[in-house]
Amino acid sequence: MKRRLVTATGNVVLLLCLMYLITYIDRVNISTAAPLIRKELGLSQTQLGIVFSAFGYPYAVFQIVGGALGDHFGARRTLTICGIIWAVATILTGLTGGLLSLFMARLLLGIGEGATFPTATRAMQYWVAKDRRGWAQGVTHAFARAGNAITPPIIVALMVAFTWRGAFTILGLVSLVWVVAWAVYFRDDPKAHRGVTPEELATLPPFVPHHERTRSRTPWGPLIRHMAPVTLTYFCYAWSLWLYLNWLPSFFKEGQKLELGKTAIFAFSVFLAGVVGDTLGGVLSDGILRRTGRLLFARRAVVLFSYVATIACLVPVVYVKGLIPVTIFLALGFFFLELAIGPMWAIPMDIAPKFSGTASGLMNFGSAVAAIISPITFGFIVDRTGDWHLPFWGSVGILAVGCVSCFFMRPDLQLSDDEIAGTASPAPVH
């Protein structure tokens, strides 16, 4: 039978990829505009760090709440509502007039984007074959890193043409276009989609309706026990991620004394390395799983290598001199850091297939906490010392903690039916 180039499952993954791309553009656009915003509103580096951190407070809450809502109401409704909220928040950012209103707009953005990734994982649970979960998580997050990469030049171009306020308005309208496309095309149950083929359905897990899946209450105790080491390990990853996302453009502009246009070019080159790392990490993890059948090794080995290699690249950032050497080590560090994304986001699907939205929300809670603490810490250190390289030592130490905590992650121990009922032990995944 001739293989179709365009499939319903492929289109769903593409829509999710575009969502990751757009949400990260809307999430990190403020870091590129930050020097102009800081100058116009008269903010210090510490105050700017506080603005960056505003996103993280509701983002942390809605990782868990939003993941549970995604499990209960389905990905179609949940992501549609989320998209409307984050689009409005992006537009409102361009209308702010001071520290408080800017902080509130970023809070609203955190509410809108808080449930997106856990709910996207819920969508993938039924639209992606089991042995392609690492790839799916890797490629969607690669689009997120592509969003990081293209944001600096896009924002600079929009700011030149329409001012920084106009740039936020335009990006918010683009988000609304995605919302309409998602609501029209996606269906929670693949069988309900007109374009899906029997061949595609044969590779997908059976769909469990929301009312059947949630007939029993969410097993919070077992889920938290399973996910606690995963959450800690992901926090260690996210500390460095948010350092890159929030401060890299300012690092180049103010720490390296570059013009705004050149700042966009160098930030783009660093973030582009993450696009490759995201995709490769998921492919490596799935490849190991197919070759060995060892789920624990397939997930843990890639994460551990990612953290160790990132540490080896970030240490020189503190010591080397010169724009080019610093940029090379920053790019290599981001490439190796992003290798962890595919296997890490596959782990909630491995551990809790019936509650993957909630499980991934618990994991991403670690990222949300890092989103609060990391940018404030960076801004505080730079304000007090004037040294833009010193905060990278914090990343090195926290990644070292992640190297230890990853040995406590057990993706091979799946949440069992007895655990869901509140009686027994986890079931190994073979």
DSSP states of 3-55 as a string? Answer: PPSS-HHHHHHHHHHHHHHHHHHHHHHHHHHHHHHHHHHT--HHHHHHHHHHT
Q: What pLDDT was estimated at residue 50?
A: 87
CB 19 within 8 A of CB 79: yes
CA-based nearest residue to 182, from 94, 86, 92, 278 = 86
Q: What is the pLDDT of residues 309-345, one digit of tens each?
A: 999 999 998 888 888 998 999 999 999 999 998 899 8
pTM reported for the whole predicted model: 0.73
Helices (H), 204-294: 210-213, 220-250, 260-292
Q: Specify if 162 maps to a domain.
A: yes
* 227 pLDDT above the threshold of 50: yes
Q: What pLDDT was estimated at residue 18?
A: 95
- 145 to 141, 148, 276, 279: CA distances (angstroms): 6, 5, 9, 10
Pairing state between β 427-428 and 413-414: antiparallel
Return the CA Rg of the chain: 21
Q: How far apart are CA 363 and CA 67, in angstroms?
A: 10
Q: What is the pLDDT of residues 396-415, one digit of tens each?
A: 999 999 999 999 999 999 88
Q: What is the CATH number of the domain that holds 362?
A: 1.20.1250.20
Q: Specify if 324 maps to a domain.
A: yes
Pair of tokens at residue 342: 């595919």
Strand partners, 414: 427
* 427 pLDDT above the threshold of 80: no
Domain that holds residue 164: 9-428
Q: What confidence tier does 2 reach under pLDDT thresholds 50, 70, 90? A: very low
In single-letter form, the type of residue at position 122 comes to R
Q: What confidence tier does 67 reach under pLDDT thresholds 50, 70, 90? A: confident
Give 381's contacts (C-beta < 8 A, 6+ positions apart). 387, 390, 391
Rounded to 5°, angle at Cα 30 from 235 and 274? 50
Work out the average pLDDT over 213-227. 78
Q: Specify if 3 maps to a domain.
A: no
Q: Specify if 402 maps to a domain.
A: yes
Q: Specify if 381 maps to a domain.
A: yes
Q: What pLDDT was estimated at residue 317?
A: 87
* 357 pLDDT above the threshold of 90: no
Q: Specify if 2 maps to a domain.
A: no
DSSP letters along 95-149, please? T--SHHHHHHHHHHHHHHHHTHHHHHHHHHHHHS-GGGHHHHHHHHHHHHHHHHH
Give 166's contacts (C-beta < 8 A, 6+ positions apart). 94, 158, 159
Q: Specify if 1 maps to a domain.
A: no
DSSP 8-class letter at 218: P
Q: How far apart are CA 360 and CA 356, in angstroms?
A: 6
Work out the average pLDDT over 142-146. 85
Q: What pLDDT was estimated at residue 24?
A: 87
Q: What pLDDT was estimated at residue 39?
A: 87
Q: How far apart are CA 234 and CA 236, in angstroms?
A: 5
In the chain the first and final C-alpha atoms are separated, in Å, by: 31
C-alpha 127: how far from its chain's center? 19
Pair of tokens at residue 134: 């690492």
For the chain, the domain total comes to 1
Q: Specify if 4 maps to a domain.
A: no
Q: What is the pLDDT of residues 44-54, one digit of tens each?
A: 888 888 888 88
Work out the average pLDDT over 247-268. 77
* 352 pLDDT above the threshold of 60: yes
